[in-house]
Amino acid sequence: MIELVQQILNGLAIGGVYVLVALGLTTVFGILGIAHFAHGSVSMFGGCLTCFLAVSAGLPLLAAIAAAMAVGFVLGVAIELLAYRPVRGASHINAFIVALGLTMMVEGLNLQLFGHEQVVILTGLSRVFEIGGVTIPELRLYVILAAAALIASMTLFVERTRTGQAIRAVAENREAAILMGVNVQAIPLIVFGISTTLGVCAGVMVGSLFAIAPGIGEWLVVKGFAVLILGGLGSIPGAVIGGMVLGVTEALAAGFVSSAYKDLIAFAVMIAVLLMRPQGLMGKA
């Protein structure tokens, strides 16, 4: 029993990271129909940048994270404006190729700017809480809480603000949104800015819980897409549930079935969900 509870807790922290990656992907996908493959590399960039600002530039960690999030927002806007906007009218395959090109560029830049060694963001949080044989490192707790706070504020933003309502309007019916006077030129910029900011947060979490190393970007974005399918394309509650399900499934698979095949089991669950509920766990039929 202790083992089961421990395994679920193990999965929640990584699940929180998956949720943040997927939130960015799902808003981009839901509104613009773009499979933004470079999202993982951009998240990596954010994590590396935070580490650089905190260590080399000497900023306090929270200030470094805030600065990296601001850079992330600008980067997201630039990506939409310079790379995706020119191919908006074309087939969605073209946008996908642009995404691949972006991935290579960002990966190459990361390597040039931050080197080839794995980057770990040092938080100095090393206490461990223990409750009835179940252990929770302090850091993991904060990551789960931070993810929850980000998810809540994202939900509030989309549900309660005018910009958020405009984003939802475009997602549901682009033509009608134009008729109602929504500025459809600005919406994609905001969406990319926000989703990249969320990606940067995910990168910071990966960098402080674990590490950012070459190749992690691809791993992150693949997991993010898996969450998208699990939860339902374009659905924010879907991304939250899907991310948690994926994180916990992986932990349980590694703990109770086979650590070598844990990813395979996670994908099998994803494909099974797709077969039984093609619209995803939370998607609308």
**Least distance (Å) from other proteins to the CB of residue 180?**
26
Kindly report each contact of residues 1-4 with a partner whose C-beta sits within 8 Å and lies 24 or more positions away, as own/partner.
Answer: 2/132, 2/133, 2/134, 3/255
98 part of the interface to other proteins, by CB under 8 A? yes
Which neighbouring-strand residues pair with 129?
A: 136
CA–CA dist 118, 122 (Å, integer): 12
What part of residues 207-226 is at the interface with other proteins (CB under 8 A)?
A: 209-211, 213-216, 218-219, 222, 225-226
Q: Measured from the CB atom, is 72 or 283 closer to other proteins?
A: 283
171 part of the interface to other proteins, by CB under 8 A? no
Decide: 24 and 32 in contact? Cβ < 8 Å.
Answer: no
Decide: 192 and 34 in contact? Cβ < 8 Å.
Answer: no
**Least distance (Å) from other proteins to the CB of residue 141?**
12
CA–CA dist 168, 246 (Å, integer): 26
Residue 73's contacts (CB-CB under 8 Å, 6 or more residues apart) are 193, 194, 196, 197
Stretch that binds other proteins, among 142-150, 160-168, 178-186, 206-214 (CB under 8 A): 206-214
- φ, ψ at 119 (rounded to 5°): -105, 125
Give the contact letters, 7-46, x = binds to other proteins (CB under 8 A), - = no: x--xx-xx--------------x---x-x-----------
CA–CA dist 179, 22 (Å, integer): 30
Candidates 56, 130, 132, 175; binder of other proteins (CB under 8 A) is 130
Stretch that binds other proteins, among 62-70, 149-157, 177-185, 250-258 (CB under 8 A): 250-258
Take residue 122 and report the two structure tokens written for it. 């040092």
What part of residues 255-274 is at the interface with other proteins (CB under 8 A)?
A: 255-256, 258-264, 267-268, 270-271, 274
108 part of the interface to other proteins, by CB under 8 A? yes
Stretch that binds other proteins, among 57-65, 151-159, 175-183, 204-212 (CB under 8 A): 204-212
